[in-house]
Each structure stands twice: as structure tokens, then as C-alpha cells.
Chains A and B, each alone.
Chain A
Amino acid sequence: MSIAVLTQVYTEARRLAIAGSVVAPGDFRLKKLIPPLEQAGAQAPVFAKVAEAAKAVVEGSEATAAKSLLELTSLVNAILYTQGETGKAGPLEAVKTTTMGGSLVQTGARELKALLEALTHTGSGRLELVKDAHDRGLFRDLRLVKPAINAIDDPYPEIADFVVTRVLPMYGSAILPELRAKYDLKGTRGHPRRLKLMHALDPTSTRELVTTALETGSKEVKVAAIACLGSDPKDLDYLVEQSSAKAQEVRSAALHALAPLDQPEAVAVLKKAMTGKDLEIAAYAIAASKNPKLTDIVAAEIQSILAGLKTQKDKKKVGEAIGRMMRLHRSFPTSDHPVRNALLLDLFARRAELLTLKGDDHSGVDANESVVWAMSQGSEKVRAALFAAHTELTPVELGHAFDAARKTLSPAKLYDLFSPYLTAKVDEKKKVKDAASTRRQSIIDAIESPVLYSAYWHYEPEAESREKPVYDPRWLDLAVELRNVELVSALARPGHKASLVFAKTEFDAALQKAKSPEDLYSQLHLLFDLEHKDADDAFFAAMAIIPKKSKLQYFHNFYLRHSYPRFIPQMDKAAIPRLEELVASMPEREADYWLDAIEKLRTK
């Protein structure tokens, strides 16, 4: 009761402080609280003191009101601060914990902040940061769990997909309550991902959610629910039925769920889908399933298309058939299977016959290139057959043969086999038409980019994380002779004398012509790759060039934020004062990227 009066005095004093002490004298609301305070004061003297202080406010003049009000407020606050409730009665229950398993990681705040920004803001370069953090195991820091869960709704689908497939599964069932709490079966975007993730983490407890989603979920959630089916034998009939649904997303989800199953009904559905308008989605489903039992139906379909081409004269239909065949080459569930190996070797032997095919969209040359690409991704025996025939290949095919040989041969043998393409005499004036020149370029491209892909052949994300290939040292001597900056950079070995001289000469020449620091990026990259002693000075020389207005924004967004800061940790610590001087002249957002890089240099 007495504390309640005190709380009221606190409220009134606060009101008067806001209104101004000049209106406090005579305040009737405060006045009404004085008698109960005096009554309480009979038992506890501190209340009498409060009553006195309140009286001084009410009965005082405008001149004394401020001082009296301050005294009253201080006194009441001091008393209330000693009256805080602390405990809580009731049975103490154990925390319902769902531990993440494994050991926890503690990351520095600066690094965490950058990662949190990447997970919660928009802008370019975020996916790389998130991937890098994942590779270094930083997501085992408790403080990242919630932001990672929230990234399921990231507007950039690549980030959302990455956290769902690579980051969140490592937390296991610990994140299920949070996922369930936010899941909305009528939702779009993040909610289908939530359902799939919950199902992957705990299929049994998620079964009911999947069933409900099939009945009443939004279209996107329903598609996700279909993709979760297949583990229960009862699902088969439903999936077969959905494989002919009107909506393509539904058919695609059904095919994905059917592909890992071995039942004849499931295989029959995929076989049928491959022959019709659903080839594209069936091909994806088969490739993703990695179910080797589907190799036979893919190979049989390719053979069937080839048989049909023998009698086909319509150019449009020939082009379409070749296109289908090319797509099927990318759908094999495994790269090393006797049936696939035999088919590829047979098709490679028949490439002269395939070359005669003429179609509207695609012709025999495309068919052959797709076979060659498939061989470069195949078994060792198939790869060997490909590069053994390197002299007979087109420039594009030669690049794939080089890739196949790189995966198979020792560095010295690779050099012996393919270096003649770099030393061959070429006609520099007819680069496009000169066969020797285009073949040389194919080998250069293959060395510069260890990840080979094109518009036709599918891109392998896993290839990015592969180790850098080891090359015979003689390649670098050749690259310097060719005076190709990118090639020398791809093969660079610190301390290689000829490269060091070449790199500096190239940089100095480029500096004379450069209109923006980005014009010097390749040359600078080479200097740092070679750990050239003049690399730091070259860096500052490049940064001294002020780009034209039209290029300024792009330069700020890309080069200042991402490209150039990457050189900084490779520099000498003596460069720190000059770097700090540069940072001082930069816009704030760019400066942040540089400060991080400078910190890495400082602590290296």
C-alpha cells in the first residue's frame, strides 16, 4: 500500500517536472497524496520525510518550487530504487534446450558486424562474404544463428538458398522451434524454404506440416511440400498424379521427388517426361537425384534421338532433336557409369557422321561439342580418349580436351602435349581466321580460367572451390615470351625473374595510358601475384589517377570496395600511413572496406 503511494508520488513529480516547477505550488493531485504519506510515516520515518518534501513543493512559492521539486524527485527515486522486485516464485524448470552440437566459435566483433550487415542489408558482394564465413566455420557462433535464420527471407535468392542448404542444416533440430514459429503455410518466398529445411532436419515431425501444406498451402509452399514427399510408399501415387499437373512448378517438384525412387512407376514417369515438353525439368531432376539407375533411360533416349535423326530431313526438327540431345548429356546422374562411358566413346567415334547434321538452331558441330564436354567430365578412360585425339578437335573442343588432360596427366606430360599450341607460329594480323591463333587462345583461356563453362555447357559451382591446378614451370616462361599479362598472372610464381621484369614493364607502359585505376588492375594484380618489390608503389601510383566522372560511380562501387582493398593485406606494413592518408579522402562507405583491409595488414 505504502509503496503504491510512493509510486504515485513518483508519477506526479515526473508530471510536474515535465510541466515545469512553476506550476507545482498548490498542485492538488500531489496535495492529495500528503495525508496517506503522513499516515505511513508514523510507522516508517522515510515516508514522513517524503511527506515533508511533498509539502515543501505544494506549499512553497514559485521561487522555491524548482529546488523543492528536485529534492522530492531525488528522494522518491532513491527509495524506489531500493524497492525493486528481483526473484520470481514458482517451480524452477529446466531450460528446454536443443543444443547445436559440436563446439561453439567466438568471433571478433568487427568481423561479426560485417557479416551481420551482409546478412541483414542489401547490396553486392554479400554472398561472397557469407560463403567465406561459412568456409571458415564462423557460423558456429551463437550470435549468428538468428541472423542466419532470418536470411531465409533475404531478397537475393542466392543468399537465401545458400543459408538454407549450407549454413542452417549444421544447427540441426536446435533451430526447429524458431523455424516453426515463423512458418506461414500461406506465405511465399522464405516459407517454402522453411518447410523444406524443417523437413530435411526432421522428416518425421514435419510430415504433418507437409500434409497440411499439400491441402491448404500457398502455391509455392505446396510445391515445396511435394518436393518433401517420397520417403513414404503412400506418396508414390500422389507424386505420379502431380507429375502431370497443369503448373510447371508442381510437375517439376513431383519429378524431383520421384527421381531418387527406384519403383518402376517412378522411372516410367521420368522416361515419359524426358521424351516430351518436360525434358528440361526432368533433366534437372535426374541430374540432381544422382540415382545411377536412371543412366539407362537417359542413354536410351539419346540413342533413340540419334536413330530418328538418320531419316529426318526437316532442318527445324533436326535442330530441335540435337538441342534435346545436348540437354540430355547434362542430365546424367553420375559421370562414371559403364553405359554412359560406352555411349560417349561411340558418339565420339561417330563425330564425322554427326558433323553432317544440319539444323536451324543446332547442328552437328554443337552435337559434337556437347559430347566432348561430357567426355571432359567423364571417367579417366573417357578423358584419355578425348585428349589423345587433340589434334583432330575444333578450338572449342580443344579447350575441353586440355581440361580433361589437366585432370589426368602429370604437369610435365600436360606441358609436352599442349605447349606446342602456344609456341606455334600464328598470324597476328588474322587472329580470328587463323586456326593456329584460335587454338592457342583456347589453351590460354583454359589456363586462365580453371572453371570451364559456356552458354551451352552447364557451370559447375563446385569447381570454384577446387585447388588451383599445378602447372609445369615451363608454362610461365612461355607466358612471358608471349607477353600475356593475364596468362602470366594465372601462372605466377613469386620471384620468377623474367616475370618480375615483364610485370614492371607492362605496368609502367599501362600507367602512361591509364585513365582510371581500373585500367591498371590486371597489371597491378600481376605485380602482387609475383610479390614484386615495387607493387606497393605501383598501387599508390594507380590510386593517384582520378577516373572520369562517367566512370566514377562504378569505380567507387566495385574497385574501391572490393578489388583494390584485396591488395592491401599483401602490402608491406610500412605502407599503412600512406593508406590511412588515402582513406581520409574517401567517402565513408568505401572507407569502411579499406579500414578492414588495413587492419588485416596491421595484424598479419
Chain B
Amino acid sequence: MPTDTAIAAWLGHAWQLSELRSAGLVEPNAELIQLAFNSHYDSAREEYIDTGIWMILGSGKIRVTQTLRPLKAVKHIKSEDSFFAVAQVKELCVYPGSVNPRVRWDGMLPRPLEKKDLQTVRQHGRADFAAVVKEIKGALKAPLADRMPIVALNFKTLGTVDGDYVIEDAKGERLVLSDIGMAEEPASLAMLALLPKSIFAGQTLIGRFRHDLDSRQLRVKPLSFVTDADVIRLTL
């Protein structure tokens, strides 16, 4: 069974933790910080999907957790909630996948979030947008790739160009922010105008990329900002 794409899960294979372990898809002693969380109802599949977006503090890789709660079983499956501490996981099982594979764990020990953890997240943020875009495009061209990868981006400035929100890196490379086509999480752009001014320079943005084939534009949806003191979540 392939372990570099999520195709097995798409075809209906429900991975068991024991299978992931025997395939060697395990990271020992991982510490994770949740950067965003959302819960939405998929009317076609008739199930709630609780998605957590996490960063592994050691490697800076962004991973997702997913709790699927079919409508029929919703009373028996506890819904997930935002997590504001750091999760210490002895054995992190990673599902097959490419940019942001799904992860799961059996047991976790929470510890309080400290400022140095936020500093670590910010250090893992990508400051060279051209290199990020190249990697994202490279990943997206694979037919089985995750269509909306998530990346931590360290921007120099967040401003507007002709009314569109844009982030710019130190080399002047820009990425346009947008909510279009990413309806799983509620729209987040409208909140930017209410943020303190300090957010608009030198911060880390957790963004979801999406390529619109019709308009041929690669856009980024802001999910949260990581500052020295806080994770400011824009979605739920």
C-alpha cells in the first residue's frame, strides 16, 4: 500500500494505528502546538469533520488531525475542541500523505504553552515566498496531492494592493490573500481590519494555499497569526 499519498484513505481504507506502526509511520516523542481548529458539517457525507492544524515543534512540519463524526453516530463520538496547550505525544502516528499528512495519537500529556514555543513556531515559518511557491506548485502538480496545503509564512509586511490583502517577504515577493473557494472554514479576511497594527509587520501567518484552475491564481487564506505572545485564530 502506498505511504506517500492519501489515496488509500480516499479509496475507503481506514488505517488502524497498528497498521501505521507496522508501516513505520511513527514519530517518537513529538510536541505539537495547535495553530487552528475548525469543525464543519459535510452534508454530502452526512458527517461532522473536526480538523485541527498543528505544528510539530521539533521539525516545524504542519500536520492535521481529523475526527469524523457521522451524523448517525454523532451522539457516541465526542466532538473535538480547540487546544491551547502543547500536546506531548510519546508516539505520533502519521497517516500516508504528502504536504500535511493526518496524524493521530493514543495518549497525550498537555503542558502549558510558553512564549518560547511561539518563538519556535515563528522560527519554523518560511521567509522566502518564492521557494515556498515553487514547492507548493511542485506538490500540487501531482494528481493525488492535497489540493489545499497549509504553510507557516513569515511576512515582512501585510498591506493592501488595489483593495486586496497582500503579504510581502523581505525580498519583495508577494502573496495575495483570499477566502474564495475555501468554504470549510468561515471567511477570515474581514477580521484583518480589526487587528492591532503590530500584526501587520514581521509576524507569522498560518495560511492555506489554493490554486484556482479557472482563474489560474494561487491564493492564500489566513487561518491564524502567530505573534511573540499569542496565536490569534481567525477560523473555527
Contacts and interface: CB of A to CB of B under 8 A. Distances in A.
A591 interface: yes
A87 B193 contact: no
A85 interface: yes
B143 A108 contact: no
B232 interface: yes
Contact of B141 (A82, A145, A591): A82
A113 interface: yes
B182 to A, nearest CB: 15
A94 B236 contact: no
A515 B164 CA distance: 63
Given A10-B213, A87-B175, A588-B75, A143 B197 contact: no
**Interface bracket on B:** 35 or more
A583 interface: yes
A84 B46 CA distance: 33
Interface in B146-183: 157-162, 164-166, 168, 173-176
A86 B236 contact: no
A373 B143 CA distance: 78
A110 interface: yes
A584 B174 CA distance: 52
A97 B217 CA distance: 27
Interface string B54-89: 000000000000000000001110111110100000
A93 B176 CA distance: 13
Contacts of A588: 74-75
Given A84-B137, A88-B176, A77 B143 contact: yes
A109 B161 contact: no
Contacts of A74: 143
A88 B74 CA distance: 44
B40 to A, nearest CB: 10
Interface stretch (B7-15, B23-31, B100-108, B184-192): B184-192
A584 to B, nearest CB: 6
Task: Sort chain A's interface into a size bin.
Answer: 35 or more
A90 interface: yes
A84 B216 CA distance: 5
B196 interface: yes
Interface string B223-236: 00000001111111
Interface in A560-604: 583-584, 586, 588, 591, 595, 599
A146 B186 CA distance: 11
Contact of B37 (A10, A81, A109): A109
Contact of B81 (A77, A91, A109): A109
Given A78-B142, A80-B216, A92-B161, A142 B200 contact: no
B126 interface: no
A88 B161 contact: yes
Given A93-B160, A583-B75, A174 B194 contact: yes
A200 interface: no
B75 A591 contact: yes
A11 B42 CA distance: 28
B20 interface: no
Contact of A86 (B82, B133, B192, B234): B133
Contacts of A97: 192-197, 200
Contacts of B218: 84-86
A84 B231 CA distance: 29
B197 A86 contact: no
Given A78-B142, A87-B174, A109-B82, A99 B233 contact: no
A94 B138 CA distance: 32
A83 B161 CA distance: 21
B204 interface: no
A100 interface: yes
Given A81-B211, A97-B195, A88 B164 contact: yes
Given A84-B217, A90-B162, A99 B194 contact: yes
B75 A584 contact: yes
A19 interface: no
A95 B158 contact: yes
Given A94-B159, A108-B82, A143 B186 contact: yes
Contact of A104 (B80, B158, B197, B232): B232
Contacts of A174: 193-194
A64 interface: no
A587 to B, nearest CB: 10
A85 B213 CA distance: 11
A98 interface: yes
B195 A142 contact: yes
Contacts of A10: 213
Interface string A99-111: 1100010111110
Given A86-B218, A112-B236, A588-B75, A92 B191 contact: no
A305 interface: no
B165 A95 contact: yes
Nearest to A583: B75
A89 interface: yes
A88 B233 contact: no
A92 B137 contact: no
B140 interface: yes
Contact of B194 (A98, A108, A113, A584): A98
B38 interface: yes
A428 B133 CA distance: 86
Interface in B203-225: 211-213, 216-218
A478 interface: no
Interface of B: 37-39, 74-76, 78-82, 84, 129, 133, 137-138, 140-143, 157-162, 164-166, 168, 173-176, 186, 190-197, 200, 211-213, 216-218, 230-236
Sorted nearest first, the 6 A-B pairs with minimum C-beta distance are: A84-B218, A87-B174, A78-B141, A81-B140, A92-B159, A110-B81
Given A90-B162, A584-B76, 7 more contacts: A81-B137, A93-B160, A95-B200, A97-B196, A97-B200, A145-B194, A586-B75
Interface of A: 3, 7, 10, 74, 77-100, 104, 106-110, 112-113, 142-143, 145-146, 171, 174, 177, 583-584, 586, 588, 591, 595, 599
28 contacts: A7-B216, A10-B213, A77-B143, A80-B213, A82-B137, A84-B218, A86-B173, A86-B218, A89-B161, A92-B157, A92-B160, A92-B168, A93-B161, A94-B159, A94-B200, A97-B193, A98-B193, A104-B230, A104-B232, A106-B84, A106-B231, A109-B37, A109-B82, A113-B39, A142-B194, A143-B191, A145-B191, A174-B193
